[in-house]
Structure 1
């Protein structure tokens, strides 16, 4: 075979090189896909399937899926009666999530020239209704029992409640009036019956009562934390108890689950889960002895759900709310749960 003229050899060489590079690229992509599949089926990892679902059907537990694979960080659903079953992951990614009565709130990362985070209000079919830019890293999200009010908290600086060196921003949005209270720091604060003003006010962990006016949250100021009772129409926050963080109001509105600091700031494992009876002020320590840095969720009137560190980020556990029994892991590789239809 006669070799091509010298002037044609360079183009031929470039063409062959391009074909070889293209083939190598295809091989790499296919290998990556196979790697995703292998990661997705690692021993002990749950089965995750692509699918669609909405917020209209009761009896579901929804959470951020942390199972390794291409559907990590997507919202996933399982039957409430079978939380360990294969999960169905929807095409929506969230860092923090909550839902009630057909309303959802999703705190997520967003791309762009300047990456950041946003709060996305969702309807019952998981469609975005409105987006709000948020000034930091998402940490807490809640929807009121009626679905009318939504709240979210972000870290403006710092990324942990443990050491005390952080700043938060908490907002509440009324879906009926379309009113955004973009910072609880604008509310009037009462401590020991007196107006309390301080530049270090931080609020986090909102939980709503059924009347869509009353809510509870944590106030951190001057090295202390307080449970505060909020009145949305009056824009007031009243301290009702010290050393209460990340409150979660029970379905009947009579008890608050919370994390109580039992070790000094900066110490490892500083918190323990408690339940406060609002009728008599009695505190009950729960059977979970591990430190829980989470806003617990009432699975039902007798049981609490919460996250603990796990092999792939976090796992969901449950414990009786009366201080008896034992904690039990119920969903591996999951965080930020919501109970749809108790």
Structure 2
């Protein structure tokens, strides 16, 4: 039983890039992560690179670097909205998903089971998605599973689990108890989305349609997709090794012909990469000698070399100037 528990913990740490360890450490201290609100002067109205400061758990902006934003385990922003995932103290594990406007006024708060894993906001800011890591599903036989939700701010409707969406693999409508979705992100129309689905020991890139309530697979071995700002490419992590500690490499897929190419980053990246612009990707990697992570960047065309962007950081996202309608 002890060896089985050890294997489970290692598998979870690989999937989450250490976020579970953070939550367990907080619980062992007899509490949980402090839920800190943003300072009144901290907003998204200044353009820049926003990120989570790993030392404090709070959101900061570069240039500037003062972590005066809210405390988050995962963070993302787009349009005029921001999404913050927080790991709540206690057991069973729960996540609080908080939606903010550009001034970090809270708009919506949802509590879901599981540990924070992925967060995304559509380009308009009107549709949001988050993924949590959960254990205990009967089909999982003691292994992990994910829960992915979608919130439409236009209607207020919350899809608690996209696992319910009809899935087509190849040309066949597919049914299975072990279907898991994660890493949902949206196209500019607030309807089409891309995500990873896992079933039968395989991962697939899926393209989904919220209005038609359907999803279909495009290809195998794609995890944590991230759609480029121009909507033509997807960055993703691909499993290229059987090494459980370092199995992935970052790739970019051209949606027009489904051709892919590896990026210059050869280290194993366990993150959903973020597009800083149409030609550059950013992602978190473990910092040497600590439990923190650093944010690195690399060209999306596979050229060049990786560059350190932000030490002690995670959840990078570029926030452009606010539109006049947001004031």
- Structure 2: distance between partners of 1:191 and 1:65: 40
User: In the alignment, is residue 236 of structure 1 matched against residue 229 of structure 2?
Assistant: no
Say which SS state the counterpart of residue 89 (structure 1) adopts: coil
Check 1:201–1:112 CA distance in 2 against 1; reply closer, same or farther (3 A cut).
closer
State the match for 2:268 in structure 1.
Answer: 291
Matched residues, number:
276
How big is the shift at 1:110?
A: 3.0
State the match for 1:53 in structure 2.
Answer: 42
How big is the shift at 1:62?
A: 1.0
Contact 2:74–2:84 (Cα < 8 Å) also in 1:
yes
**Higher CA-based Rg:** 1
Contact 1:303–1:318 (Cα < 8 Å) also in 2:
yes
Structure 1 runs of 4+ aligned residues shifted over 6 Å read: 112-115
State the match for 1:340 in structure 2.
Answer: 319
Check 1:53–1:269 CA distance in 2 against 1; reply closer, same or farther (3 A cut).
same
- Structure 1: distance between partners of 2:209 and 2:225: 16
Contact 1:51–1:89 (Cα < 8 Å) also in 2:
no
TM score, norm. by length of structure 1: 0.77
How big is the shift at 1:196?
A: 0.4
State the match for 1:16 in structure 2.
Answer: none
Contact 2:93–2:113 (Cα < 8 Å) also in 1:
no
* Deviation by residue 1:312-337 (Cα, 9 ceiling, x = unmatched): 41000000000110001110000011
Check 1:138–1:113 CA distance in 2 against 1; reply closer, same or farther (3 A cut).
closer
How big is the shift at 1:51?
A: 7.5
- Structure 2: distance between partners of 1:181 and 1:202: 15
- Structure 1: distance between partners of 2:164 and 2:93: 27
How big is the shift at 1:157?
A: 2.0
How big is the shift at 1:237?
A: 1.1
Contact 1:312–1:333 (Cα < 8 Å) also in 2:
no
Where structure 1 has 5 or more consecutive residues not aligned to the other structure, the ranges are 1-49, 80-85, 159-163
- Structure 2: distance between partners of 1:226 and 1:289: 22
How big is the shift at 1:260?
A: 0.3
1:278 is matched with which residue: 255, 261, 279? 255
User: In the alignment, is residue 117 of structure 1 matched against residue 95 of structure 2?
Assistant: yes
User: In the alignment, is residue 74 of structure 1 matched against residue 51 of structure 2?
Assistant: no
State the match for 1:34 in structure 2.
Answer: none
Question: Where do residues 49-198 of structure 1 align in structure 2 (5 Å cutoff)?
Answer: 52-58=41-47, 60-67=48-55, 72-79=56-63, 86-111=64-89, 116-157=94-135, 165-198=143-176
Check 1:237–1:104 CA distance in 2 against 1; reply closer, same or farther (3 A cut).
same
Contact 1:274–1:285 (Cα < 8 Å) also in 2:
yes
Say which SS state the counterpart of residue 90 (structure 1) adopts: coil
User: In the alignment, is residue 325 of structure 1 matched against residue 304 of structure 2?
Assistant: yes
- The Cα RMSD (Å) is 1.9
TM score, norm. by length of structure 2: 0.81
Say which SS state the counterpart of residue 92 (structure 1) adopts: coil
Question: Where do residues 16-31 of structure 1 align in structure 2 (5 Å cutoff)?
Answer: none
- Structure 2: distance between partners of 1:104 and 1:149: 11
User: In the alignment, is residue 269 of structure 1 matched against residue 246 of structure 2?
Assistant: yes
Check 1:112–1:138 CA distance in 2 against 1; reply closer, same or farther (3 A cut).
closer
